[in-house]
Structure 1
C-alpha cells in the first residue's frame, strides 16, 4: 500500500529533487513511477508556475455518500470483473471523487490528502480549449479562420492553412504530431518536430544545442494532409490555443481562466499552471489543483452548474458542440483514437471534439491525462467522475460504469 506523500523521509525527498533537477532527467517528470508519485503532488517545486487564484465564498458540496457505489462492478477489457472499491485499493489510483446532482456520493484518498494539489497532465488541455470556445461565442475568435490570423508570429507558415477549429479538434493535418510520426518515436528522436518543440519549451534537454524558440519549431511544421481527416493527438495544439488566448485577450491564461471560471465556481483552493521560463504557457499539460476543485470545474459542463456558480459559465451551445460536432469517421485514424477504442471495444461511433478525448454516442465525454488522471462528464446523468492516479489503468471504463449504474 502506497503511503501519503507527506510521510516520505526528508532524505528521500531531497533525492527526488536532485533527480528531477538534473537536466537529463527532466523528461522523466511525465513518467509514472515512485519519484513522480511525489513530484505530481508537489509540481511547483519542479516547474515554473503561475497561480490561478480563487476568490469569494467556497461552494459547499452536500455529502450524500452512497456505499453501494464502492460495490458497483465493472470489467476492463482483458481483466476480471472488479468492484470500484477493489480497483481503488489495488490500482495506482491516488484519489477518486464522484459528484451526482451536485452532491459528493463517493470520495476516497490513498496517497494524498483532500487539500493536496495534484498534476492534471492532459486533462489540462480542455482549459485552453474551453477558453477559446468562450471567446468564439463572444465573437472574439472565429473558429473557421486560420490560426495565424490570431498569432501574428505564425504568419507565412503552415499555420496559415490550419483553422482554429482544426486545432481544437486535434485534426490539423500538420506533421510533428505526438504519436503518428513513422516508428512512433516523436518523444525520443531528436530530429522529430514534436521532440524539438518539447526541447524549446524546456520539457526535454537540448542535447543538440538547437536553441530554438517554440515559434521557430511551429513555423517549421509542414502540412501533410487536409484538416479534419484524422484525429492526430498533439500537445502542440493546446499550446497554440493558449497562444490564441494570450493574443486575443492580452493576458496570461491563469488570469483569463481565473476570471472566467476559477473565481466563479467557489473553488476551495488556488490552482496553478505551468509556464515556460520565457512566459509562454504550459496549460496543455500542467494545471494542478485539489480533487474537489477539479470536480467543481467538471460540474460547469453539467446541469448541476448552479450548485457551485451564480451564472452558467458554459452555455448549452458549447455542450451541444462537444456532443454533436465530432467526426467518428476520423477517430481511428490516429494512435490515441485507437488506444481509447481499446477501452470500449464493442462501442461504435466514438469521436473526439474540442480537446475531449472521447465523446460517446449518448453525449457523455471524457478527458484523460497521460499519467492516469481523468475527468468523465455525463450531462444527462448530472454526474462527474474525476480522479488522480500515478499510472493509467483504464479508469474511464470504471467511470462510465459508475455513471450508468447511478443513472439506473
Structure 2
C-alpha cells in the first residue's frame, strides 16, 4: 500500500492541525482508501490527516504481530470526582500560550485524541475528545522502553550484562562500529556512531536514519534496492567515542531488539508476549508492527488502547499488582532507570537540550530509553506526534496521552500535574 518516496519535499494531504473531533467516529470508505494508498515514510513525517488516520490503522498498511490480552482486564477504581476539576485547572506555559489543562485538551490546535491520569491505581482523569476508548493508537517512540525492558529482565537473570559489547551477543556485528559499543551505551543512546535520528537527519536522503526508516516501510533507498535495518546498522560509521554525547536514535533501539532475540532465542514479539504482555490484565491486544523482513519495530511502531498504555506505565510502579499477575519490572530495574549512568553534561551536550526545552523543566538526564528522569523519580517518554507516557513510581502516578501534532502542549503539563497529584489536603508536595 506504499507509494513511491518523494525525497524532494514532505507533502501531506492536508495542513496541520487535524480536527480529531471530526474523525472520532471513523473515516469514510473514500478517506480510508485515499489515506491508505498515500501512506509512505515521507508523507507520515508531514503529519496531517494521513498521519492521524495511519496512527489508528497501522495494521492496514504494515505486517503486524498481535499479542492477545490473555488475562481478564482489571477494573480501575475511579476517583474523578475529587480530582478532575482540580486537574483541569492546572496551568502551564505551552507553545500555544499559557493555558489550563482543560483548555489545552479542548483547543483544536492540540489535536488531543485521548488522555488518562492514574494516581495509586485509580483513574483520576480521563478524556477522549478524538478517539474512542476501545480504539488502538500508535505509541510512537513511547514504545522504546519496551525494548529496554526485555534487556532489563535479561540483566536481572544474569543472561547478559549492560557492560557487554554488542559483538558478544551479535557475532555478525564483530568488526563494525556498533560491534564494540556496550549495551549500556545502546540503552542510553550514546553509541558514538552516525545513527543520530533528528529533524535534520530525517531530511538528509543519505543519512543512516533515513535509510533505516525507508527499510522499515519497504521503500527503496537507491537503485530500487530495499535494504534491511540490520545491514544498514552494520554499515554505520564511527563519529566519536561511545559515552560522550546523547544522540537520539530509533536504529539504536532496534539493536536492543536484535540482542533480546539472540539471547532468548525467540522473536521479539514472542519474547515480549511471554515475558510481559501475557501477564498484563489488558483490555485489548498489543499490536507490534513489523518491517517487511519481519523485524519487530519496537522503537515506536506499536499500537494499543490508551488504557493499556497506562497499564504498561503502572508496571513501573509499586502498584503493578493492580494490572498484572506478576512483577515484570523489577525493583532493581527501576533503580537502574532512576540513576542515569551517563552525566548530565553528556545529556545536555546532545539532544538533552532539546528535550529540556520540550518539557519546560531540566531533568537529571535520559536513562535506559526514557527521555527524561527527575530527582523525585519521575520518568518521561515521548512520541514523535505528541504521544506521551509519564510515571512517578512511588506515588503510582501515570499520565498517558495520544495526539497528532509534532509537539503536543500536554508535555508541559506533566510536571505540574505530577506535583499537583502529590499534594494532599494542603500538605507540601512530597
Partner of 2:282: 267
Partner of 1:89: 106
Partner of 1:47: 62
Change (3 A) 1:344 1:219: closer
SS of structure 2 residue aligned to 1:187: helix
1:58-73 mapped onto 2 (5 Å cutoff):
58-65=73-80, 66-73=83-90
The CA deviation at 1:79 is 5.1
Q: Runs of 5+ in structure 1 lacking a partner?
A: none
Asked if 1:99 corresponds to 2:118, the answer is yes
Asked if 1:339 corresponds to 2:354, the answer is yes
Q: Give the distance between the partners of 2:95 and 2:38, measured in 1 at CA.
A: 36
The CA deviation at 1:344 is 4.5
Partner of 1:144: 163
Partner of 2:252: 237
Asked if 1:362 corresponds to 2:376, the answer is yes
SS of structure 1 residue aligned to 2:201: coil
Q: Runs of 5+ in structure 2 lacking a partner?
A: 1-18, 424-430
The CA deviation at 1:407 is 0.7
Q: Give the distance between the partners of 2:211 and 2:346, measured in 1 at CA.
A: 27
SS of structure 2 residue aligned to 1:40: helix
Change (3 A) 1:228 1:394: farther
Q: Give the distance between the partners of 1:130 and 1:310, measured in 2 at CA.
A: 17
Q: Give the distance between the partners of 1:387 and 1:238, measured in 2 at CA.
A: 22
Q: 1:9 aligns with which of 28, 35, 40?
A: 28
TM-score, length-scaled by structure 1: 0.93
Partner of 2:138: 119
The CA deviation at 1:340 is 1.2
When the two chains are superposed, the root-mean-square deviation of aligned CA atoms in Å is 1.8
Change (3 A) 1:56 1:204: same
Q: Deviations over 1:107-130 (max 9, x none)?
A: 000121000000001011111111
CA contact (8 A) 2:165 2:183 kept: yes
Q: Give the distance between the partners of 1:377 and 1:355, measured in 2 at CA.
A: 14
Q: Deviations over 1:59-111 (max 9, x none)?
A: 11112213224433222256543221111000211000001111111100012
Change (3 A) 1:337 1:203: farther
Q: Deviations over 1:10-66 (max 9, x none)?
A: 21221112212xxxx343234421122111011111111111122122111112213
Q: Give the distance between the partners of 1:293 and 1:405, measured in 2 at CA.
A: 24
SS of structure 2 residue aligned to 1:274: strand
Q: Give the distance between the partners of 1:251 and 1:374, measured in 2 at CA.
A: 29
- Higher mean alpha-carbon deviation, 382-391 vs 392-401, is at 392-401
- Higher mean alpha-carbon deviation, 309-318 vs 360-369, is at 309-318
TM-score, length-scaled by structure 2: 0.88
Change (3 A) 1:207 1:221: closer
